[in-house]
Amino acid sequence: MNPARFTRVDATTWRLEPHGAMQVPAVIYADEGLLRAMDDKVGEQLANVASLPGIVDAAYALPDAHWGYGFPIGGVAAFDATAAGVISAGGVGFDISCGVRTMLTDLGSEEIEPLKESLADALLATVPAGLGGKGGIRLDETELDAMLLGGAVWAVARGWGEPEDLIRIEEGGRMAGAEPAAVSAAAKRRQRAEMGTLGSGNHYLEVQAVAEILDPATAEGFGLERGRIVVTIHCGSRGLGHQIGTDYLREMALAAEPAGIALPDRELACARIASELGQRYLGAMRAGINCALANREIIGQLARQVFTRLFGSGGRLRLLFDVSHNTCKLERHRCADGVERELHVHRKGATRALGPGDPSLPEALRPWGQPVLIGGSMGTGSWVLAGCERGRAFASAVHGAGRSLSRHQALRQWNGRQIVDELASHGILVRSHSLRGVAEEAPGAYKDVDAVVAAAEAAGLARRVARLRPVICIKG
Query: Given this model, what pLDDT does residue 377 score?
Result: 87
pLDDT: which is higher, 19 or 136: 19
- Give me the mean pLDDT over the 55-78 stretch: 96
- Give me the mean pLDDT over the 113-118 stretch: 97
Dihedral sign of CA atoms 10, 56, 73, 171 in order: positive
pLDDT tens column, 218-261: 999 999 999 999 999 999 999 999 999 999 999 999 999 999 99
Query: Given this model, what pLDDT does residue 268 score?
Result: 95
Q: Which of 399, 408, 426, 433 is catalytic?
A: 399
Query: Given this model, what pLDDT does residue 200 score?
Result: 84
Task: Please report how many Cα atoms fall inside a 13 Å half-sphere around the Cα of residue 367, on the Cβ side.
Answer: 7
| 3-state SS assignment for residue 186 | helix
Stretch among 134-138, 296-300, 407-411, 435-439 having the lowest mean pLDDT: 134-138
How far apart CA 321 and CA 369 sit, in angstroms, is 12
pLDDT tens column, 348-396: 999 999 999 999 999 999 999 999 999 998 888 999 999 999 889 999 9
399 annotated active-site: yes
Q: Is the pLDDT of residue 132 over 90?
A: no
Which residues are within 8 A (CB) of 160 and not within 5 positions of it... i.e. 6 or more apart? 137, 196, 294, 297, 298, 301
Query: Given this model, what pLDDT does residue 133 score?
Result: 63
Q: Is the pLDDT of residue 295 over 70?
A: yes
Q: Is the pLDDT of residue 131 over 80?
A: no
Average pLDDT across the chain, whole number: 95
Query: Given this model, what pLDDT does residue 476 score?
Result: 75
Binning pLDDT at 50, 70 and 90, where does residue 47 land? Answer: very high
Query: Given this model, what pLDDT does residue 405 score?
Result: 87
How far apart CA 373 and CA 216 sit, in angstroms, is 17
CATH, range 3-404+446-475: 3.90.1860.10
Q: By the 8 A CB rule, do 295 and 241 touch?
A: no
State the DSSP string of 349-386.
SEEE-PPTT-TTS-TTTTTT--EEEEEEETTTEEEEEE
